[in-house]
């Protein structure tokens, strides 16, 4: 019995010396406890070394899939004639038995035997130390991991994220520089800003012309149209701008060079982004365009993260602030985010934009998943979905509602309308009320409106009169109370005065009586003495 063992350095075949011990699976671990006992159990018969890393990767990748490589087939044919082979994978054993007609065995005893050989591998194979096995296994595992991931530099979406970010920054810088050129050169030739609206053509014209006096002598046919050139030359003669020195013109021309170089680099970057998007996300590019697709990938972080999002999230991606503001204030949520800039949404009318955006987001979610997780590298799915969206847009814009009347496969069944028939039950219901045509009369409605207005006015007058009467009654009551108070007050004052006088007289009498009594007594005494 032979044993097939795979190592990072190559394939090894061991001869099992004592097959009787395989019956006791539990005791096999004790057999490989030492190198001497292991040598008594198995012996190395042949070893096939890998020539390089690529050969090792190919052989191991085949083993992972359950198939032998070409080198392994030759090695087994040369060393396994009329022998039973013990293998670690039953699927691999079945293929070896079919193609090489070699009997293969896979059971618990074989797995325990392989485990014991692995523990004493450096002792059983001379020249293969543990210090060599560790780096070989590490390098082979890394290579196998890359192979499984199918890593490709063409599928790196990080380049798209960086490219679209740089493109946006270039647009901002270009606008800033172009406006600076217009403002700076506008002091010398202000009329030129109205004649040439394009920033690049403006910078080219300023660079070629310099001072406006030179405009009549120069040829602008390569830059501008004939009509624009004639208008420019006429305006240069009657311009109201100030004079500029040669030093100022030198700096203005250098700024124009910066604008033109940035514009040229932006064009190159756009071509690069376009090619990358067609390589990484061809279906998404065919559906929404290069710029919108790149911004969606950049906003989500990667193409794989974007593929995990549902269509409803793709629809409002980029409008998160508006969404949370609407949820907080309980207003209507946004209908689109970055997807609004897609050409299909731009072609739709105002009412149809949300519908097309919802359909486009659903199709885009499918296209993104196909690009991120699928193996096909063409854009057939994106083109097909775009044609469907354009057809839907035409039906919405043209108000073609044929599909609403019945199924799309056949013509709808047309029945005569019966107002007394209940739909679905087949029974009859009470006849509908007849329409009152008299209610449509404008004169009657006008008269009714006038009467209602008059009644309202009368009610308002009556209410106002009642309020005035109530106010007058209240005012009269208040006046009576005031009069009663004024009449009572003088009488009370007179009574109080009288009372005070009486009290004074009484007090005076009380003080005078003892004096009078004394005088009378003295008079009586005098009379008695006399």
Helix (H, G, I), strand (E, B) or coil at 11: strand
Query: pLDDT for 284-309, tens place per residue?
Result: 999 999 999 999 999 999 898 999 99
Mean of the per-residue pLDDT values of the chain: 81
pLDDT band of 326, cuts 50, 70, 90: very high
Q: CA-to-CA distance for 174 and 256, rounded, in angstroms?
A: 11
DSSP state of 349: -
Q: Give residue 171's pLDDT.
A: 94
pLDDT band of 18, cuts 50, 70, 90: confident
Beta strand spans in 96-156 (E): 104-105
Q: CA-to-CA distance for 338 and 299, rounded, in angstroms?
A: 9
Q: Give residue 130's pLDDT.
A: 73
Q: Give residue 442's pLDDT.
A: 46
Q: Give residue 259's pLDDT.
A: 95
Query: pLDDT for 220-248, tens place per residue?
Result: 989 999 999 999 999 999 989 899 899 99
Q: CA-to-CA distance for 362 and 312, rounded, in angstroms?
A: 7
Residues 6+ apart with CB under 8 A from 116: 28, 29, 31, 32, 38, 41
More confident residue, 358 or 520: 358
Residue 93 has pLDDT above 90, yes or no: no
Q: Which residue, among 144, 65, 150, 161, has the nearest Cα to 375 in the 3D structure? A: 150
Alpha-carbon separation of residue 39 from 115, 155, 344, 530 (angstroms): 15, 51, 75, 183
Q: Give residue 438's pLDDT.
A: 56
Q: Residue 311: enclosing H or E segment and its boundaries?
A: helix 311-315
- HSE, side-chain direction, 13 A CA sphere, residue 526: 6
In sign, the C-alpha dihedral spanning 479, 480, 486, 492 is negative
H, E, C per residue of 59-107: HHHHHHHCCCCHHHHHHHHHHCCCCCEECCCHHHHHHHHHHHCCCEECC
More confident residue, 432 or 74: 74
Query: pLDDT for 112-143, tens place per residue?
Result: 888 888 888 888 887 777 777 788 888 888 88
Q: CA-to-CA distance for 121 and 129, rounded, in angstroms?
A: 8
Q: Residue 46: enclosing H or E segment and its boundaries?
A: strand 42-49
pLDDT band of 444, cuts 50, 70, 90: very low
Cβ atoms 404, 397 nearer than 8 A: no
Helix (H, G, I), strand (E, B) or coil at 14: strand
Residue that the structure tokens 């987001």 belong to: 361
Arithmetic mean of pLDDT, 428-451: 52
């Amino acid at each position: 019995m032979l044993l097939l063992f795979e190592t990072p350095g190559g394939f090894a075949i061991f001869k099992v010396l004592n097959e009787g011990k395989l019956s006791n699976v539990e005791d096999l671990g004790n057999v490989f406890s030492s190198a001497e006992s292991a040598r008594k159990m198995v012996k190395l018969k042949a070893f096939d070394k890998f020539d390089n890393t690529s050969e090792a990767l190919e052989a191991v990748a085949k083993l992972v899939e359950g198939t032998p490589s070409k080198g392994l087939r030759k090695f087994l044919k040369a060393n396994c004639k009329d022998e039973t082979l013990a293998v670690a994978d039953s699927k691999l054993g079945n293929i070896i038995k079919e193609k090489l007609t070699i009997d293969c065995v896979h059971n618990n005893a074989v797995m325990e035997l392989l485990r014991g050989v692995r523990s004493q591998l450096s002792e059983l194979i001379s020249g293969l130390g543990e210090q060599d096995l560790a780096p070989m296994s590490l390098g082979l595992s890394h290579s196998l991991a890359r192979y499984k991931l199918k890593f490709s530099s063409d599928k790196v979406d990080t380049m798209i994220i960086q490219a679209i970010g740089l493109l946006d920054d270039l647009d901002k810088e270009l606008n800033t520089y172009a406006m600076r050129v217009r403002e700076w050169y506008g002091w010398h030739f202000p009329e030129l800003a109205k004649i040439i609206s394009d920033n690049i053509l403006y910078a080219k014209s300023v660079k070629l012309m310099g001072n406006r006096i030179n405009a009549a002598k120069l040829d602008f046919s390569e830059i501008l149209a004939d009509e624009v050139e004639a208008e420019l030359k006429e305006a240069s003669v009657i311009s109201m701008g100030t004079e500029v020195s040669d030093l100022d013109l030198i700096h203005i021309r250098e700024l124009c060079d910066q604008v033109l170089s940035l514009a040229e680099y932006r064009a190159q970057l756009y071509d690069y982004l376009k090619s990358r998007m067609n390589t990484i996300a061809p279906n998404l590019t065919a559906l929404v365009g290069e710029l919108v697709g790149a911004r969606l990938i950049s906003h989500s972080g990667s193409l794989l993260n974007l593929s995990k999002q549902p269509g409803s999230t793709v629809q409002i991606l980029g409008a998160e602030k508006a969404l949370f503001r609407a949820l907080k204030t309980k207003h209507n949520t946004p209908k689109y985010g970055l997807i609004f800039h897609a050409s299909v949404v731009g072609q739709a009318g105002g009412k149809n934009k949300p519908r097309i955006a919802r359909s486009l987001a659903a199709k885009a979610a499918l296209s993104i998943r196909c690009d991120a997780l699928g193996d096909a590298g063409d854009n057939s799915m994106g083109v097909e979905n775009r044609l469907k969206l354009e057809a839907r847009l035409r039906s919405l814009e043209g108000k073609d509602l044929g599909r609403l009347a019945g199924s799309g496969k056949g013509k709808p069944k047309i029945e005569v309308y019966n107002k007394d028939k209940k739909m679905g039950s087949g029974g009859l219901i009470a006849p509908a009320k007849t329409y009152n045509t008299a209610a449509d009369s404008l004169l009657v409605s006008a008269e009714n409106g006038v009467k209602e207005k008059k009644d309202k006015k009368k009610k308002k007058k009556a209410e106002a009169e009642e309020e005035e009467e109530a106010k007058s009654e209240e005012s009269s009551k208040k006046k009576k109370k005031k009069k009663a108070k004024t009449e009572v007050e003088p009488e009370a004052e007179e009574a109080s005065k009288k009372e005070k006088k009486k009290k004074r007289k009484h007090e005076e009498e009380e003080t005078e009586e003892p004096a009078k009594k004394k005088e009378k007594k003295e008079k009586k005494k005098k009379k008695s003495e006399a």
